[in-house]
Amino acid sequence: MADQTQPWAERTVEVPPQPGVGVVPPQRDAFRRGVAAVGQPRTSRTEQFSTVDPTTDWSGGSTPRRPMAWHLAQLRRGGEWSAAGVLFAFVCWGIWAISGRGDLGAPLLTFVLSLLTAAGLFALARLLGRLVWERQLGRVRRSARGAHLVTALFLAGVGVAYLQQTEWVVAAWNWVTGN
């Protein structure tokens, strides 16, 4: 029997050897029983022979390249602002175009050009954000909310401009404000 004065964690029990139990078959891959492989990262077969790192930026920068899905997700963040601006401009354009009582060809061309101008403004805002926010200040842009907000403000201004060209809307505004 074990000595009862020792703590229970330090007591050992002798077990007689049994035939066939405890025999360890030879191991491969430099495995040694009882020795932990600490600090040695495991690599797969494909990683052992890979010579090209897909995250390397070959343009000379040290930032890793990100997949296209990440960039698209970044552009979508804040898109509700642009969508609201487009909706407001479209409603105001519709009021202006219908009250003109004529051919919708020229007003439609005007609206399409307004949307193309808004897209150009969005691209310009993104470019300025990249130059100022990322390159000069060294910050990381996590969304396109600023560019979407600038685009939405532009489209709201376009919508107000359409309404200002509609005679009955201007008359109603003047009647409400008392001018």
Please write the tens of the pLDDT for every residue from 96-145. Answer: 998 887 788 888 999 999 999 999 999 999 899 888 877 888 787 778 88
25: in domain: no
Domain limits at 150?
A: 90-177
159: in domain: yes
120: in domain: yes
Of residues 115 and 56, which shows the higher confidence score? 115
pTM above 0.85, yes or no: no
Q: Residue 121 and residue 151: Cα distance in Å, rounded?
A: 6
Whether pLDDT at 73 is above 90: no
CB contact burial 27-65 (16+ within 10 A = b; e otherwise):
eeeeeeeeeeeeeeeeeeeeeeeeeeeeeeeeeeeeeee
At position 105, the amino acid (one-letter code) is: G
Work out how many domains the chain is built from and give that number.
Answer: 1
Q: Residue 168 and residue 23: Cα distance in Å, rounded?
A: 97
Give residues with Cβ within 8 angstroms of 95, minimum separation 6.
162, 163, 166, 169
| Mean pLDDT of the region 143-162 | 92
59: in domain: no
